[in-house]
Amino acid sequence: MSKYVSGLSLALFLCACGESDNTPDGNGGAPALPNQGGTAGTPGSAGSGGSGGNMMVMMPTAGSGGTAGEGPLGGSGGTGGTPDPGAKPKVLFVSGSNHHDWLKQDPYLINILKWSKVFESVEYMIMPAASDDASWAAWRPAWTDYDVVVHNLDLTHGNFGRDWPNEVKTDFENYMKNGGGMASLHAGTHGWENWAEYNKMTGGGWRSSSFGCSIEIVNGQRTVVPPGVGPDAADVPFTDQLIRVLDPENPITKGLPAVWKMITDNSSVYQRGPCESVTVLDYAYSQTGGIDGYFPVSWTNQYGEGRFFFIAPMHLMTNSPAGTLNEMDDVGFQTMWIRGVEWAAKGMVTYPVPANFPTETAISRNDLSNYQE
């Protein structure tokens, strides 16, 4: 852990872990997360100092949900990985501001990455509290210590966070231009509407219709929707729950079924930005509130030598129905999340398509909500 990283954080290291087909009952407990502020802690210990930095990141305690079985995900019959991966990548997961329920989302997203055995470490960092001027003045993440930066941040909608200092933004731009990686999901493209370089990194975000172009899939073809045409960005549920692969030769989607069924969730349609450079990986049909069409579910984008991966599902609000968190049990989502983050880190994918990957007619569950090393 770099001496330059401040804000309470914890290095979460990989272990051997297993597979589960168990259907959760929604009773697994959510882990305690740190308050903002404090200096970096060592693995398994809390950081010190700062505002409220008196809690350590805890993994979920065992609940009554399903437990992981034996053997790696995929087991026999897994396909699509590449051999000789070399050094495993290091992940920095940055969070702390989102109008979605990031306190529940983050631990599960981290569990999925740890459980995959793909990553050397997953370090979790919460930004300083918005009112903590001293901590913000000292907050200078050492981006280059990591192969990929995962974030679940929305600083634009809801006034939940404080904007990054200009020096931190510039450091991150240079990190990406020189070959760094970034991965995000759902509301992760909502933030930084006025950070031009961030919009170039992501290719699209939660913006008004006039902000930029968007992408729709028409007759199986990627189609650019010009600025001002169509509605603003919106959350729209998957209508038929079917994910359709658009780029079957991409390392992230290679080996996946052409069509597969996802546990029901929301996508984000008509995301706006400099979308011309976006590579759409897969898409789904959404119909509600005057919106009727096929829209990207996950995509990648290039920024200099850097790589960006985005996946739209995981619309989890604090008032979401019980069991919504269990949408992350989806083996299809887990596979795309692991593969996308690995690709953002390395530009290649070693994680295989699991043998129990969903089909066109059946979802597949793997309950990792209570996973512990």
The residue extents of the domains of the chain are 9-206+234-346
Which one is predicted more confidently, 229 or 12? 229
Q: Amino acid letter at 286?
A: S
The answer to which of 80-94, 246-260, 284-298 has the lowest mean pLDDT is: 80-94
Residue 43 confidence (pLDDT) above 90: no
Q: Amino acid letter at 362?
A: A
Separation of alpha carbons 220 and 96, rounded Å: 38
Specify the pLDDT at position 241: 86
Crossing angle between the packed helical segments 102-115 and 331-346, to the nearest 10 degrees:
70
Find all residues with CB under 8 Å of 344, minimum gap 6, and list them. Answer: 148, 181, 182, 183, 300, 307, 308, 309
Which one is predicted more confidently, 228 or 211? 228
Q: What is the mean pLDDT of residues 306-318?
A: 78
Q: Which CATH architecture has domain 9-206+234-346?
A: 3-Layer(aba) Sandwich (3.40)
Residue 157 confidence (pLDDT) above 70: no
- Residue 313, SS3? coil
- CA 69 vs CA 22, 66, 307, 361, 368: distances in Å: 9, 9, 34, 24, 11
Share of the chain above pLDDT 70, in %: 66
Separation of alpha carbons 173 and 368, rounded Å: 33
Specify the pLDDT at position 272: 74
Specify the pLDDT at position 362: 95
Q: What is the mean pLDDT of residues 105-123?
A: 93
Residue 207 confidence (pLDDT) above 60: yes
Residue 90 confidence (pLDDT) above 50: yes
Q: Which two tokens stand for residue 176?
A: 């990406």
Q: What is the mean pLDDT of residues 276-289?
A: 85
Which one is predicted more confidently, 218 or 324? 218
The answer to which of 59-63, 341-345, 353-357 has the lowest mean pLDDT is: 59-63
* Residue 31's pLDDT band (cuts 50, 70, 90): very low
Q: Which two tokens stand for residue 208?
A: 């008004």
Q: What is the mean pLDDT of residues 115-133?
A: 89
Q: Nearest to residue 111, comparing CAs of 329, 357, 364?
A: 329
Q: Amino acid letter at 67?
A: T
The answer to which of 5-9, 94-98, 207-211, 359-363 has the lowest mean pLDDT is: 5-9
Specify the pLDDT at position 232: 74
Residue 56 confidence (pLDDT) above 60: no
Specify the pLDDT at position 35: 37
Specify the pLDDT at position 40: 32
Residue 141 confidence (pLDDT) above 80: yes
* Residue 315's pLDDT band (cuts 50, 70, 90): low
Specify the pLDDT at position 28: 35
Residue 71 confidence (pLDDT) above 60: no
Specify the pLDDT at position 351: 97
Which one is predicted more confidently, 17 or 138? 138
Residue 69 confidence (pLDDT) above 80: no
- CA 41 vs CA 82, 127, 304: distances in Å: 34, 14, 33
Which one is predicted more confidently, 168 or 203? 168
Specify the pLDDT at position 186: 73
* Residue 332's pLDDT band (cuts 50, 70, 90): very high
**Per-residue three-class SS string for 329-349:** HEHHHHHHHHHHHHHHHHCCC
Residue 19 confidence (pLDDT) above 60: no
Specify the pLDDT at position 30: 35
DSSP label of 35: P
Specify the pLDDT at position 199: 87
Average pLDDT, the chain: 74
